[in-house]
Structure 1
Amino acid sequence: MARSYFLALVGGLGLVALLSLGIWQLQRLDWKEGVLATITARINETPIALPDAPTPKEDAYRAVTLTGALMPEELHVYWVTSDQGPGYRVISPFVTDQGRRVLLDRGFVTAKAKLDSRSVGAAAVTGNLLWPDEVDSLTPAPDSVGNIWYARDVEAMAAKLGTQPVLIVARDVNMAHAVNSITPLPVSTQNIPNNHLQYAITWFLLALVWAAMTGLFLLRSRKGASAQQLKS
């Protein structure tokens, strides 16, 4: 009998823990959906002039518009797209009409177009402010000889190109004479993970299996105890 009580206690505690984890993931799902909705709304809102001192907390994903001139310097960030395969994001300085020098993510070029000449000069840009979280301890250092970066490191790129540490990801770039156009890769929520529903289902399935196993063990324990009583 004591063994049955112990199994029931362990089984009950384990079931509560697994169900709690599943419920927590559902709460996280609700939170993440709210975050994604907020980001989507900010991405698609009417563009405003570039703020004087944008910050990640206040201005991440904010839609902006600016006019000025694209500079010829480029940094190439290794990137892979589903439709065009491997290539590079092109990051260039952009000097606004007010004289501010910022970073512009112009978009994607294929690997074979890496060294092609591209349009520079007067341009009107619509895009979104972004502070990418792409650098970690496993990110390789940039290849300065080949001009290949492996993440959009805003601070390091700004230092390299002599700009403010402000990155605008282009949605649309209008120029009088566009040569060797670049495919824009606008900011979206597509690559922001939201796997909480799958995690919740996993925890609830584990809870179901745990409950079934606990019930089976209790049933076998009771049968064993009854058989022992009959023998005695």
Structure 2
Amino acid sequence: MKDGPDIALVASLLGDPARANMLTALMAGQALTAGELAREAGVTAQTASGHLARLEAGGLIVGRRQGRHAYFALSGHDVAEVLEALTGLAARTGPKEPALRRARVCYDHLAGDLGVALLDGLISSGMLLDDETLTLTPAGETRMAGLGIDTAALRKARRPVCKRCLDWSVRRSHLAGSLGAALLQRIYALGWGQRVEGSRIVAFTPAGLAAFEAAFGPLPQAA
């Protein structure tokens, strides 16, 4: 018998259409109830309960009770990154909806055209070194402080500060890690853009796009 992680077990959990729909719904980074996930999967509550139990046992989701409801979320950003990459293999032409291609949430960081532009801008402006770990430079530290991001606190987190995540629509990397998550939260807090209710789309205001471009460099042209 081959030693090492059981890839086939994880693949079997991801391979069921209902479970795949549930996991995709959780890619927006929010916890959802069992009933909401049943509707996303198009299955009965009883069937959803079985699927959720398997996903939780397999370590892909975590559940918690709050009052009368059970809520479920992805177990971590690493699960989201695997799902993002697999989505790219499953849909090689990228998302059909232009707004989803333009800017969307990938678990807790910005993805799509603007997510890739963000990483490109940080590298081209010298705020990130384009090395294996995407090292934040002194100029980057200063710029993040100006945006209200405490990079010292980010370094205390268990996850990497900067990490590449393969974007499934652009086929290039966007910025993940604790810095990617912090930047998306600042985009929300500054009013540059907000996540569209019930969707992974991040809708930017015209003023927000202008501020984004001023901060990180030229924007890609909208399709």
Normalising by the residue count of structure 2, what TM-score does the alignment of the two structures yield?
A: 0.23
Q: Which has the higher helix share?
A: 2
When normalised by structure 1's length, the TM-score is 0.22
More strand by share: 1
Larger relative CO (CA 8 A, sep 6+): 1 or 2?
1
